[in-house]
């Protein structure tokens, strides 16, 4: 079977499974197996070995069962870098790049800053910050052994492990250094909204998605305990859910922080920055 035939068959399977991105997903999976750029599949016709064909349709079957593509190919691009991901670790999202961008803007002129990330997951946020700010040091926490293992692997791949210290702990517990900033994309989906999520999202770790108190549980705890860990001109940088920016802004203001909301490409308030006054 050649690539054109394989893709046609795969797209039919995915369309029957009501996968809206059938063509793109099939191309991504096949280009990953063949280790070639996706554009080559469009302009070239390549014969597949029996082993490649079997692997391809095995992975297409998983996609038809609504497994995320990132878990199937075990990688995800984020902020211009490739990150290893696997089941048990939250998949990095394009909107989270805004959180990285806004944090970098605020530390651009700081000399030798130190940051804290709460819930490192795959390491996408901390590693992207470290790659773009060579004098930055990061400390990061996570409760998941699997996430810590993946983050360490990604930090090694991107040569930043010497500037990243990962601590297994719950949120901020046991952390007592002073930081220029605290950044987090915490779980923020209220339990009542979880059932309405897409099947692909439900394949991701539940503990990385759901939060109590209408999704505000982590923000409240991080701000309450983290405020004393920030230096005089320090700041919080949070990703928030589609209807949470104002609530998180209010929490920050109640502790005397000056808050700013930043919109994503869909014009949804996606990031909230809280600066010490």
* Domain boundaries for CATH 1.10.8.10 within the chain: 3-65
φ/ψ bin of 215: left (φ > 0), alpha (ψ from -120 to 50), beta (otherwise)? left
57, 23 Cβ separation under 8 angstroms: no
pLDDT at residue 76, as a whole number: 96
* Domain boundaries for CATH 3.40.50.150 within the chain: 81-276
Q: What stretches of the chain show up as alpha helix (H) in DSSP?
A: 3-16, 22-34, 38-43, 50-64, 69-73, 96-107, 124-132, 145-157, 191-194, 217-226, 245-254
Binding residues: 119-123, 142, 185-188
pLDDT at residue 146, as a whole number: 95
Beta strand residue intervals within 130-277, DSSP E = 137-142, 164-168, 179-184, 230-239, 257-263, 269-276
Asked if residue 111 has pLDDT above 90, the reply is: yes
235, 184 Cβ separation under 8 angstroms: no
Fold exhibited by the domain 81-276: Rossmann fold (3.40.50)
Binding residues for S-adenosyl-L-methionine: 119-123, 142, 185
Binding residues for substrate: 185-188
Arithmetic mean of pLDDT, 83-111: 96
Per-residue pLDDT of 189-231, as tens digits, reads 998 899 889 999 999 999 999 999 999 999 999 999 999 999 9
pLDDT at residue 192, as a whole number: 87
> Measured at the alpha carbon of residue 10, what is the angle toward residues 150 and 74, in degrees to the nearest 5?
5
Per-residue pLDDT of 133-179, as tens digits, reads 999 999 999 999 999 999 999 999 999 999 999 999 988 998 989 99
Phi/psi of residue 114, each to 5°? -130, 130
Supply the CATH classification number for the domain 3-65.
1.10.8.10
Asked if residue 16 has pLDDT above 90, the reply is: yes
Distance from C-alpha of 189 to C-alpha of 1, rounded to nearest angstrom: 44
Instruction: Work out the mean pLDDT of the chain and round it to a whole number.
Output: 95
Asked if residue 27 has pLDDT above 90, the reply is: yes
Distance of CA 189 to the CA centre of its chain: 15
């Amino acid at each position: 079977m050649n690539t054109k035939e394989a893709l046609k068959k795969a797209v039919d399977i995915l369309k029957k499974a009501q996968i809206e991105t059938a063509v793109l997903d099939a191309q991504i999976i096949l280009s990953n197996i063949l280790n070639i750029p996706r554009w080559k599949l469009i302009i070239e016709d390549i014969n597949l070995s029996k082993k490649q064909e079997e692997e391809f349709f095995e992975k297409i079957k998983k996609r038809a069962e609504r497994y995320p593509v990132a878990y199937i190919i075990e990688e995800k691009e984020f902020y211009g870098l490739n990150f290893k991901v696997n089941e048990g670790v939250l998949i990095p999202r394009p909107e989270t790049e805004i959180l990285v961008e806004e944090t970098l803007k605020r530390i651009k002129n700081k000399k030798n800053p130190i940051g804290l990330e709460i819930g490192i997951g795959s390491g996408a946020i901390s590693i992207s910050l470290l790659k773009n700010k060579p004098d930055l040091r990061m400390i990061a926490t996570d409760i998941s052994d699997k996430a810590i293992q993946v983050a360490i692997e990604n930090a090694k791949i991107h040569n930043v492990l010497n500037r990243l210290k990962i601590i297994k702990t719950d949120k901020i517990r046991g952390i007592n250094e002073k930081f220029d900033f605290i950044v987090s994309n915490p779980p923020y989906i209220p339990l009542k909204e979880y059932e309405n999520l897409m099947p692909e999202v439900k394949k991701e770790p539940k503990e990385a998605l759901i939060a109590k108190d209408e999704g505000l549980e982590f923000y409240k705890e991080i701000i309450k305990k983290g405020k004393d860990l920030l230096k005089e001109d320090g700041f919080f940088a949070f990703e928030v859910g589609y209807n949470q920016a104002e609530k998180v802004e209010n929490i920050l203001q109640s502790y005397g922080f000056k808050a700013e909301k930043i919109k994503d490409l869909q014009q949804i308030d996606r990031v909230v920055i809280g600066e010490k006054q």
